[in-house]
Amino acid sequence: MTDNRSSALRIRELAMEHNKLFEESIPLIASENIMSPLAMEMLLTDFGFRYAEGLPHHRYYQGNQVVDQLEDFVIDLAKDVFNVPQADPRPISGTVANMGVLYGLTKPGDSITVPSLSGGGHISAAQFGAVGFRGLQISNYPFDPETMSIDIDGAARMIRSLKPKLALFGQSVFLFPVPLRDLADSFSEAGCHVWYDAAHVIGLIAGGKFQDPLHEGADVMSGSTHKTLPGPQHGIVLGNTEQETWKNVQRGIFPGTISNHHLNTMAALGVTLAEHIEFGRKYASDIIDNARALAQELYSLGFHVLAEKRGFTESHTLVANTKNQGGGKKVAETLEKCGIILNKNMLPEDDSKKSQNPSGIRIGTQEVTRIGMGKSEMKAIAELIYRSVVKNEDPERIKEEVREIKRQFDTVRYCFGKLRAYEYIRIFME
């Protein structure tokens, strides 16, 4: 009994250690964010203990009358945010949302066109990911490393030739909008459904600062809800398509890939959507401004930031080739010791064997923007990165400077009511 109690207390200590790690670090992972205090509260409610299989007002369990009202609210908010007729907030992650689309719109043996991993594609669209496990025949779009985008003419020829059942767009390295309108004729000739994985840029889309896929030719859009949309670890699927197609997608979600759909995170998503209606346009704009500023500062310090001719990025993400600094793995690990958290990342020149030791790094500005950092801080961060991986300064010295910067930025912004983020967490932990 004593050992079990010690184990439980040690787990709690680890949670506190993790909180402290990020409280004292500069978070630049492009796939993470921090929630607002009001959204955080939702995770601690009784919603987290309950089941609600099926659609609102058509459940398999009793006791769902309040859940039905909640889900109706979240669906209506999502439709409002994205100005679309269809929304399903039940997927429990971005990849589960992707699986729901796959189960709804394809069957084993069908063909699908997708971005390549080296071109920034997500692992769920790879042979060893959800697309491969669905048994689909995968073809990768040709990619232009100079523009860090798919080759439009090559992609159009591929779609016309292959006539895929489904054409997927969306990446983990998502710097620029997808040329959906330029490919409209090829979609029409192929007779395929068009699916847009917006996991990384869904908050920018909701803020009106990226592109509007569901009004540019996509039938469905999936996404996770914790990146540029600063909500919980959850997923969503949105549609602007004929009703039968949407019904198929919803069947793919339930019972295809989920049973219960984590009601507390759905509630947190609803709060996030409501806050994004109020603050999302400014937040999205500030994220992109910071990404461009950080890219320019790193470039000015001699880093090989990709897509320089296009202004580096139109999203929250920037990518740098760090071969001259020892490669992505070395750079990411060095910066972690300094309290700067980002990730190694494959570049177009890398083959799949280099996934654990790629040439580049990926940086996202959505979380540092969320806590109030601006262009002057982007300059400071770039200089700290330079001093860490080029000048090889003492990591402990850099780490103390990181802590000093972070102490000034610990309040969640762009939300209803501001509270120091880690202070709020401590209310429930201490």
Provide the token pair at 377. 């801080």
End position of a domain, from candidates 259, 275, 291: 275
Per-residue pLDDT tens over the stretch 190-240: 999 999 999 999 999 999 999 999 999 999 999 999 999 999 999 999 999
**Banded model confidence at residue 117, pLDDT cuts 50, 70, 90:** confident
Residue 207 belongs to a domain with what CATH number?
Answer: 3.40.640.10
Is the same domain home to 190 and 338?
A: no
Per-residue pLDDT tens over the stretch 226-244: 999 999 999 999 999 999 9
End position of a domain, from candidates 257, 275, 293: 275
* Structural domain contains residue 143: yes
pLDDT of 303 over the 90 cut: yes
Per-residue pLDDT tens over the stretch 307-334: 999 999 999 999 999 999 999 999 999 9
Q: Cα 275 from chain centroid?
A: 18
Range of the domain at 269: 40-275
58-61 long-range contacts (CB < 8 A, ≥24 apart) are none
C-alpha distances (whole Å) from 361 to each of 2, 40, 131, 290, 319 are 45, 30, 25, 17, 6
* Structural domain contains residue 419: yes
Please enumerate in sequence order all residues whose Cβ is within 8 A of that of 335, keeping only pairs 6 or more positions apart, or say none.
Answer: 341, 342, 385, 388, 389
Q: How far apart are CA 86 and CA 84, in angstroms?
A: 6
Residue with tokens 């999203």: 315
Q: Are 140 and 167 in contact (CB under 8 A)?
A: no
Whole-number pLDDT of residue 355: 77
Q: How many CB atoms lie within 10 A of CB 400?
A: 13
Per-residue pLDDT tens over the stretch 85-106: 999 999 999 999 999 999 999 9
Whole-number pLDDT of residue 118: 78
The count of domains in the chain is: 2
Provide the token pair at 84. 């679309």
Is the same domain home to 68 and 144?
A: yes
pLDDT of 427 over the 90 cut: no
Residue 321 belongs to a domain with what CATH number?
Answer: 3.90.1150.10
- Note the pTM of the prediction, 2 decimals: 0.95
Q: Are 234 and 88 in contact (CB under 8 A)?
A: no
Is the same domain home to 114 and 187?
A: yes
Q: How far apart are CA 280 and CA 269, in angstroms?
A: 14
**Banded model confidence at residue 389, pLDDT cuts 50, 70, 90:** very high
* SS3 at position 197: strand
End position of a domain, from candidates 250, 275, 300: 275
Is the same domain home to 370 and 408?
A: yes
Is the same domain home to 198 and 300?
A: no
Please enumerate in sequence order all residues whose Cβ is within 8 A of that of 317, keeping only pairs 6 or more positions apart, or say none.
Answer: 30, 173, 174, 175, 200, 291, 362, 363, 364
* Structural domain contains residue 14: no
Q: Are 68 and 56 in contact (CB under 8 A)?
A: yes
**Banded model confidence at residue 425, pLDDT cuts 50, 70, 90:** low
Q: Letter for the amino acid at 31? A: S
**Banded model confidence at residue 426, pLDDT cuts 50, 70, 90:** low
Give mean pLDDT, residues 23-38.
Answer: 96
